[in-house]
Chains A and B, each alone.
Chain A
Amino acid sequence: GDSVTQMEGPVTLSEEAFLTINCTYTATGYPSLFWYVQYPGEGLQLLLKATKADDKGSNKGFEATYRKETTSFHLEKGSVQVSDSAVYFCALSEDNRKLIWGLGTSLAVNP
C-alpha cells in the first residue's frame, strides 16, 4: 500500500541555518503530496502542496518539489527562524482519498 517515509528527528538548528527535511513516498498511482506543520499547542495546518510531478509548492519561505523520478518531496528553507520550531509532517493522497502520513519531524531552532 501507499506509504510515506520522512527523516527522524529531532532536528536542531541555529537561527538562519539551512533546513532540509527528507520525505520519500511509495504509491501505486500519481498522488498529491503535502507538508503539514504543527506549532506547539496548535492543530496541524497545511504548509504547502504539489499535485503533479515537477510542481514546486512554496509558503512562508519553505519549498518542496515533487520529484517523481526519486519519489521524493523534500522540504527546504534557506534561513530558519526560531518561530519555525514545530513538528513537520509529510503526507500523500491519491485520487482525493484519505491522507497517508509520515511520522513527523520535530524541528527546534535556537537563537
Chain B
Amino acid sequence: GAVVSQHPSWVICKSGTSVKIECRSLDFQATTMFWYRQFPKQSLMLMATSNEGSKATYEQGVEKDKFLINHASLTLSTLTVTSAHPEDSSFYICSARVGVIPDTQYFGPGTRLTVL
C-alpha cells in the first residue's frame, strides 16, 4: 500500500513551453502533498507544500508564478513549470502525506525534466 505515482517519468521540452507533472496517491487520500527539486549531487530542496483545496505554500526563493501547483483532490496534485528554460532542468519529486508527522510521507519515483 501507500503508493505514489508521478507522470511523466521523464520529459524533454523546448525553451518557452510549459510542462505539467502529475502526482497521484494511488491507494490512499493525502491531506498534504509536497514538491521537491533535486539537482545533481545536491540534496532534495522543498519547493512547496499544498493542501487539498487551498493555495500552495511556497518556500523562500521559489517563484510561485513559475511553478504553479494545483491540488484539486485528495489524490492528485499537479506541478506546472511555466515558460520553462534550461535552468529549470532538474529532477522533480512529489510526496504525499497522511496526517502531520513527517515520516508518513510517501514519495513518488520522480520526473526528469530536460529543457532544451
Residues of chain A at the chain B interface (Cβ within 8 Å): 4, 32, 34, 36, 38, 41-46, 49, 89, 93, 96-99, 101-104
Given A43-B4, A93-B102; A103-B43 close (CB under 8 Å)? yes
A89 CA / B103 CA spacing, docked (Å): 13
Decide: B109 and A41 in contact? CB cutoff 8 A: yes
Please, which residue of chain B has its CB at the minimum distance from the CB of A42? B109
Instruction: Report if B93 contacts A (CB, 8 A).
Output: yes
In the complex, what's the smallest C-beta–C-beta distance from B85 to chain A, in angstroms? 25
Indicate if the CB atoms of A4 and B102 lie closer than 8 Å. Answer: no
State how many residues of chain B have any CB contact under 8 Å with chain A: 20
Q: Which 6 pairs of residues, A with B, have the shortest CB-CB distance?
A: A43-B107, A44-B107, A101-B43, A93-B102, A101-B44, A43-B109
B71 shortest CB reach to chain A, Å: 17
Q: Do residues A96 and B93 form an inter-chain contact, with CB atoms below 8 A? A: no
**21 A-B residue pairings within 8 Å (CB atoms):** A4-B43, A32-B102, A42-B109, A43-B93, A43-B95, A43-B106, A43-B109, A45-B107, A46-B103, A49-B103, A93-B102, A93-B103, A96-B100, A96-B101, A98-B34, A98-B46, A98-B102, A99-B46, A99-B102, A99-B105, A103-B42
CB distance from A108 to the nearest CB of B (A): 16
Q: How far does the alpha carbon of A32 sit from the alpha carbon of B42 in the complex, in Å?
A: 21
Task: Report yes or no: A44 in contact with B95, Cβ–Cβ below 8 A.
Answer: yes
Q: Chain B residues near A4 (CB, 8 Å)?
A: 43
